[in-house]
Structure 1
Amino acid sequence: MSSRLTQGYERAGFAPRPGRGRGRGRGRAHPFVKRTAVKPDIVKHPLGQLLQTLRLSDLQPHKDHTGGVNTIRNCEYVTSYNWSNSEAPTILVPGRPPLWTPLQQPQRLPEDSGVYFRDPNSAKFPRHPTEPAIRALFETNPAFSTGEVDIFACGSTMGSLLRFVQSIDKPFRFNVEVVGSTVFLIRKENDPREIIEGVRGFGHTFPEAYTTWEQDVRGSETHQRLCRYDLGRFNCVIRFECDGYLQSGPEKTSTMETKSSDLEDLAGNFKNVTVGQGTGNGLATLSLKQGGAVVPQHSIFDMKTRSGRYKKEIDMNEMYPQLWIKQIPNFIIAYHDGAGTFPTSDIHVQDVNYNVQAWERQNQAGIGRLLVLLGKIIDLAREEGAGLLEVYCPSADCLEVRRQYGEGVHALPPELSAKWKAVDEDSSGSDHEHDSGPDHGGLQLGYDSDDEPDYTACGDDCGYCGKCTY
């Protein structure tokens, strides 16, 4: 066994161990265990007052907008951070994804074992899971124009809404709060440290063996990124998890290739600081440390593993929606022989930029409904002002907007919320507008600049069809 592979196993920690964010949801369920989707627990977390019920029939685009093309435009990197594998909640800014470093010769990998959280952000920092992202953003760019942002969300919440407008039945809920002029959509699990049950397969050990955390980010568990883009009339900032990046050319892809001139000398902007409060009892603090370097958006990838025994290729139409939301242009699919060996010929590194743009063109009706739905949520949230809301989807054709039960949960701590509002007010008088530019689609423009899909409900009987994803 190679020394690098051994090092990867040591990093993985194959004894049950919490906090492993990378690779979650890429394994398979045990073939003898009947898996069902995790539903929101409305007994443990009661629902608040109902404000509005939305059906798919309520989401038809206005006639004046039916002739337009809804695309993601002006995609640009905002910030990034790594969660460190430490007892105290610690992030490295800007961090760096693990580098794709495939083995020279295939070797049999051990099967997945351990404990894997559904949402590493809430597991690491349950009191305010969005706070680390905003801390990293202001460390990277203190003058970031918050007043231009309509929506702050993660890949999970946006994926849930996209799933709903596509009539896919998978219940969900998330919190909603207006901070300044921005509507925050905050992922909500039944428990902040909710784990993925019944993980089997090689979806975790494969990335441990075939990617490497480089020296300046050694000890990282997961890489989180924030990208900003225009979706229809809305300016969005999306946080998501990144599986890794591809080395391109002789030089390291750690140079800045974004649209923000404020990021030219990132290393000089950081100091090791401690801010925020994390755990439910408020005792833990969030530490920010300098580490890593910015990796351009066009080099990052998403990754999935599958069994090759059933000769069923992954249905990429199930993957394109999340790649579209995250604006990830590369995809790696690896098929194993059922015993943990991945033949080199069965590992495929693909540039899916063109395919994702094609998916976008072919799904204009659903994207149009998504934009209408986002507009309704934003309007209702802004009407409520300082009120704390939540979105609850109990079935495929019912979406409820409610007040949060009891005192509710804020998206950010008071000090950070005030800072977001202050920057919002400072930037509200600016004449700056996003240049929409030619409408070439978001991923292509990305060359100028998290709720991972959960396959653990898949089993041998479906050959990992992907119907439970995003």
Structure 2
Amino acid sequence: MMPNRHGRYTPGGWSSQPNRSFPQRQPVREWPAPELGPRIQIFQPTDFDAPAKQYEDSASITGCEAVGSYSWMDSPAPVIMVPGMPPKWTPVPGSHKPPTDNGVYYRDPNARRHPAHPLEPAVLTILETDPEAVANIDIVACSSALGNLLRFIRGSEQPKKFRILVEAVGASVFFTRRENDPKETIEGVIGWGHTFPEANTTWGEEVKGSEDNQRILKYKFGGLNCLVRFKCDGYLPCEGADKEKNGEASSAAGVQSGDVGSITAQLSGTKLTPSTPFAASKVTIQHGGTLVPQSQVFDIKTRSVRKRDEEVLSQELQRLWVAQIPNFILAFHQHGVFWESDRTVRNVRPEIEQWEKTNKPALARLAALLHKVSAMARERDDGKLELCHVPSQTGGGKYVLEIREQLDSAGDVLSVETRGRLAMVREESDEDEVDDAIDEKRWESDGDYDHSKDHYGLGQSYYSDDDFVPDFTACDKECGQWGAGISARDGGRIWLFCKTAFVSRVELEHRRWKDNPRSGNLSGDLSGDLSGDLSGVTPIVELRSLLHIPRVYKIYPNSEILDYRYFRPSSSSSNMPQVPSTQEEAKAWVHEFYRLSDALDASKFKDIFAPDSNLTFANNPPMHGADIIAAAMGAQFATLEYMKHEWRYGGAANFTLVTNGPHVGKIESVEVFLDYTPVREKMAEMEAAAAPVEAK
């Protein structure tokens, strides 16, 4: 029996003989499950009926936005391209028959490529592209974990076992799917569910070598700020997506092929340049592609024409709701032959919205479950739990959700390096919020100071950069009262400010580093002299100010605070002025610094410095020549020769204000993280290359 030219079946019905063209199901392999930890509690869906009442009004997704994406590259080592790009919908005209699915398909591609920390690439992506997106997040989850919990809450007619690792990291709780093995494959695959999308989508030239694309959404649900990662099947060209916005269901023939790359790059500004490694997390990050608008992404499914009368979409709405995928492509086939007339591209936003309204009671229970489990994880010393969906011991086909302790073999959700970067971002966000509140109150209530901003030299004429950050160096140079510091805000810019006008006091929070148990003290007021032993201090200096001066400054070992208008270098050459006194002289100083240190390649050691000190010369506002510090100490401008000759154990005494140096050895404090290995390796390479070769 063959389809006619209209894609329909000829009379005669289905043959009772097996058809060689139809794939045969392969035997299923059993993967041993990891050991379970001690059980803490058991939940049934009805246990959340009562607490769900307080979430009925908020049990919907609001404020959804795509904040990042990445593509896994075809590489033996874990390599992602950020933001990457999904493949474009390029349907084959007429009819075609792709080969049957015959590859190896992994249940969790993220775990297969990065088994130690499957959710970490999503976090690294956001830290690379939009760090503020992770500042106030309650839940970080993969869409599979949320979908499984929702199926438990709704009481699926065909329940399945699943396991989810839960871990609290700071204020966020991570929910990560757990398969029996990171390399576990989907067994018994039959049909064309993988080869049809491959035949009808195309990877762009800028993302060649991609294997799949993962997207990260940020939205609010049940009073929780959520980051959700999901796999994206592809995107519709702009013209096709515009049609979907009108709520029309269009056939594939009506979707025109367009180039979303150039258009969305203009809209989002995320088209990037290739290749920067992030060695510390064991994931290499390349830059390329474009963050495609969420309105253009689609999910694709294939079905036999025998199931044409079944309601396929209704079975997929829960998954589409979790990932907020607005477009759905459905293709029917007869023995693997796909006809153009039997595939449709639909905008399913109305159906998703209606599904959400219909399932409000279940969604409220899901919100209650997420709140409950998050609270339980935060209460534990290790912050860890494991959720196990298993058959109830009472039988009857019912399943329950067991809350268990997480064994050490499960590992950590994030590496130490990424955990540190995340802590830095949140610390800076918290500080900014506190500063804003404090400063606003002081403008309103502090009677000891003139409330006129012009009195402090902060009129509109002194806003010196694109972000409208006040120029704290705007007072007259005869003032004679100057201070300085490194800000953890705004990318770590250097700020100079008039001490008498803005600073009230200094507070220190001592830190102790492993193998460097020295401590120090500092006291005083920045309107006068500072005194104390700074030789071993690793504090956070809190500057409580009247205005929006960043609250946290950092002082490292071997540092001094001097009352200089500029930052004085610790060493100089005959061609380098000791203390630049003009903007032109400062620029000349920087050029001479580049020449002496051979700093022509600005990307050579981008990741050498600690994240909180990742300064950039280009972005630093020209505040009385303060650019020189960002150039000399900025991570993008650090060079090997400079580090080799100037760094010392406990910190490099490059500038007398603040030394931007690490301490050799593992750092216990989350305030500072640095991978010293690349420096050592590069120095060893240079020394080996310079060593004389012995004659044989």
Instruction: State the TM bucket, normalised to the shorter chain.
Output: 0.7 to 0.9
Find the residue that maps to 1:309 and give its secondary structure. Answer: helix
Match of 1:149 in 2: 137
Match of 1:357 in 2: 353
Distance 1:118 1:407, change over 3 A: closer
Match of 2:259 in 1: 252
Per-residue deviation at 1:112?
1.3
Per-residue deviation at 1:212?
0.3
1:94 matched to 2:90? The reply is no
Match of 2:296 in 1: 299
- CA distance in 2 between partners of 1:124 and 1:344 (Å): 36
Output the amino acid matched with 1:326: A
Distance 1:353 1:225, change over 3 A: same
Match of 1:414 in 2: 416
Match of 1:11 in 2: none
- CA distance in 2 between partners of 1:151 and 1:359 (Å): 23
Q: Equivalences for 1:58-457 in 2 at 5 Å?
A: 58-62=47-51, 65=54, 68=57, 70-141=59-130, 143-168=131-156, 169-249=159-239, 252-254=259-261, 265-267=269-271, 271-276=275-280, 285-338=282-335, 340-395=336-391, 396-406=398-408, 408-431=410-433
Per-residue deviation at 1:402?
1.4
Distance 1:35 1:162, change over 3 A: farther
Single out whichever of 238-247 and 203-212 deviates more from structure 2.
Answer: 203-212
Output the amino acid matched with 2:411: V
1:139–1:270 contact (8 Å) kept in structure 2: no
Q: How many residues align?
A: 388
1:387–1:403 contact (8 Å) kept in structure 2: no
Extract unaligned runs of 5+ from structure 1: 1-28, 278-284, 433-470
- CA distance in 1 between partners of 2:171 and 2:263 (Å): 29
Find the residue that maps to 1:186 and give its secondary structure. Answer: strand
Find the residue that maps to 2:96 and give its secondary structure. Answer: coil
Find the residue that maps to 1:318 and give its secondary structure. Answer: helix
2:301–2:331 contact (8 Å) kept in structure 1: yes
2:26–2:187 contact (8 Å) kept in structure 1: no
- CA distance in 1 between partners of 2:279 and 2:214 (Å): 19
Find the residue that maps to 1:294 and give its secondary structure. Answer: coil
Per-residue deviation at 1:393?
1.2
Per-residue deviation at 1:88?
2.1
Find the residue that maps to 1:342 and give its secondary structure. Answer: strand
Single out whichever of 81-90 and 372-381 deviates more from structure 2.
Answer: 81-90
Output the amino acid matched with 2:340: T
- Percent of aligned positions with the same letter in both sequences? 39
- CA distance in 2 between partners of 1:397 and 1:268 (Å): 47
Per-residue deviation at 1:59?
0.5
Per-residue deviation at 1:68?
2.3
Instruction: Compute the TM-score of the two structures, normalised by the length of structure 2.
Output: 0.53
Deviation per CA, 1:301-336: give whole Å up to 9, x if none: 000001113444343221000100000000001001
Find the residue that maps to 1:48 and give its secondary structure. Answer: coil
Output the amino acid matched with 1:179: V
Output the amino acid matched with 2:344: H
Find the residue that maps to 2:331 and give its secondary structure. Answer: strand
1:334–1:346 contact (8 Å) kept in structure 2: yes
Instruction: With a CA cutoff of 8 Å and minimum separation of 6, indicate the structure with the bigger relative contact order.
Output: 1
Match of 2:437 in 1: none
The answer to which structure has the higher helix fraction is 2
**Whose Rg is larger?**
2
Extract unaligned runs of 5+ from structure 2: 1-21, 240-256, 392-397, 435-696
- CA distance in 1 between partners of 2:400 and 2:418 (Å): 34
- CA distance in 1 between partners of 2:409 and 2:98 (Å): 48
Per-residue deviation at 1:407?
5.1
Output the amino acid matched with 2:259: K
2:55–2:367 contact (8 Å) kept in structure 1: no
Output the amino acid matched with 2:73: S
Find the residue that maps to 2:422 and give its secondary structure. Answer: helix
Distance 1:380 1:198, change over 3 A: same
Single out whichever of 304-313 and 230-239 deviates more from structure 2.
Answer: 304-313
- CA distance in 2 between partners of 1:255 and 1:239 (Å): 25
RMSD of aligned Cα (Å): 2.6
- CA distance in 1 between partners of 2:238 and 2:149 (Å): 34
